[in-house]
Every structure is written in structure tokens, then in C-alpha cells.
Amino acid sequence: MEEQTAAAITNSPTALARLGTLAIHYGLSLAGAIVLLATGWILSGIFSRWAYKGLAHIHGIDETLARFFEKVVHYGLLIVVLVMVLGRFGVQTASIVAALGAAGLAIGLALQGTLQNIAAGIMLLVLRPFRLGDFIETAAVKGKVVEVGLFATELRNTDGLYLLAPNSTLWNTPIINHSREPERRQEITVAVGNDADINAVKQILLEIVAADPRVQNNPQPRVVIDDIASDKVTVKAEYWAETAQWTETRFDIVERIKNASCR
């Protein structure tokens, strides 16, 4: 018993020295980790802002897309810093990277539809088949674009109803953009009886269309016979107008044609 007590007393300075060495070692590692985390956080913020400003100055890059890549740079650098911090404490970073890769693959498979929407959103923001304020039409939705997000696009239809369309739906279907071109062609058809003076009808329609100041002179409007049936003849007036005034121009011309037919 006395020998064990003596041995413990003898080994106490050695144990205390080892504990002191470990405390100093891990204390320095902890201090270095804190400094590394702080530095990484600051640098990730700086580089992410640089990425955003660089993309924002590129013509055609959408604000949403620039913000998305800003977040990718920020959190990507933070993950790298976190792996470096764990490496300072002796953690095998190779296994961490492998685990992150496996987790990323699992998350990607679980969120396949969501990632598809993100990819479609990026393509919509890069290629820009439509912009904010454009009136678009697909097989599934029709409305004015309110916001283009990474997951879905917000629209408002002509009745003022809110529409939310997944980006993958818009990307995988043909899109008709009613607002993109500055000018659009319009057609108005009128059915008249076989006994009517077709030349007079054509002349009246041409005068009504040409008299509207919103109708373009180049190309010039024209009136043609579009169809012939046993009891009627269909006459079609064609003209071009600015896209912003296209709808109101049609309404006014149709009203004038109706008033002329009542005379």
C-alpha cells in the first residue's frame, strides 16, 4: 500500500505536466479555430459580395440569379473553412468530405423535383424568354409575370388572380410571349351575306383601319376575302400596331366596324 502511494506521488508531476501540455495544445488549437472561423466568415462575406457585384454588372444577368450565386459562394467558402477547422483537431477531413458527398447525393435524390425547378429557374434567368411585366402563355398557364424565382414563377392573369407556376413546367413547354416584340399583327374578320357588295365592304373596312393613328403604315393594312360559304363571305382586315396598344386598338376598331354596319 505504501509503495502504491509513493508511486502515485512520484507520477503526479508527470501527469500534471501531460495535462498542462494537452491544455496548451488544445487551447492553442481552439484559439486558432476561432481565428480561422472569424477570418473565414469575413472573407466569405467579402468574396460573396464581390461575386454579386461582378455578376450584377454583366448585362442580362438577373438580380435573382446574382443573389443565388452570392449565397453559393458564401456558404461554399464557409463549408471549406469548417472542414479546415475540424482538421486542426485531428478529425479526418477525407471522411468528412466523403460523408458530405454522400449526404449531398442523398439530398439530391430526395429533392430531385426541387433541384429540377432550381435548374430550370437558372436557365430562365439566364436565357430570359420573358421578363417582369411580360404577358406569357403556355399550355398550362397564362398571365403577366410578377416575379421570377429560383423555384417558381409568379404570375397574375387577366382576372387579377394569382398564379404560381413551377419553373420546370415553364422550361419544358413552349412559351408564347405576347409582350416581347414591340409590334404585333392583328386580324379582324367580318362575315357578310353573299348579296353584299364585297368591294364596298372591303373599302369601308380599310378606311376604318387606316384611320386609326395607332395602326402602322409599314407594313400597310390590308383587307382580303378570307373564306367563302354558301350563305356568307368572310372578309379579313390585317394590320400592325404597337404591342402596348394592341388590345385597345382592336377594341376600338371592332366598335367602329359595328357602328358602320348599323348605318
- The set of residues, in sequence order, having a beta carbon less than 8 Å from that of 72 and lying 6+ positions away, is none
CATH assignment of the domain containing 30 = 1.10.287.1260
pLDDT tens-digit readout, 119-147: 888 888 878 888 888 999 998 899 999 98
Considering the chain, what is the average pLDDT of its residues? Answer: 80
- As for how many domains the chain has, the answer is 3
If asked whether residues 19 and 99 sit together in one domain, one would say: yes
- Residue 122 within any structural domain of the chain: no
If asked whether residues 142 and 88 sit together in one domain, one would say: no
If asked whether residues 33 and 102 sit together in one domain, one would say: yes
Q: Are 179 and 133 in contact (CB under 8 A)?
A: yes
If asked whether residues 208 and 247 sit together in one domain, one would say: yes
CATH assignment of the domain containing 198 = 3.30.70.100
Q: Which parts of 1-92 fold into alpha helices (H)?
A: 2-56, 63-88
If asked whether residues 171 and 187 sit together in one domain, one would say: no
Reference 86, options 98, 75, 74, 94; nearest CA is 94
Q: Are 118 and 171 in contact (CB under 8 A)?
A: no
Range of the domain at 145: 129-177
If asked whether residues 150 and 189 sit together in one domain, one would say: no
- pTM above the 0.75 mark? no
pLDDT tens-digit readout, 140-195: 899 999 988 878 899 999 899 999 999 988 988 899 999 999 999 999 999 988 88
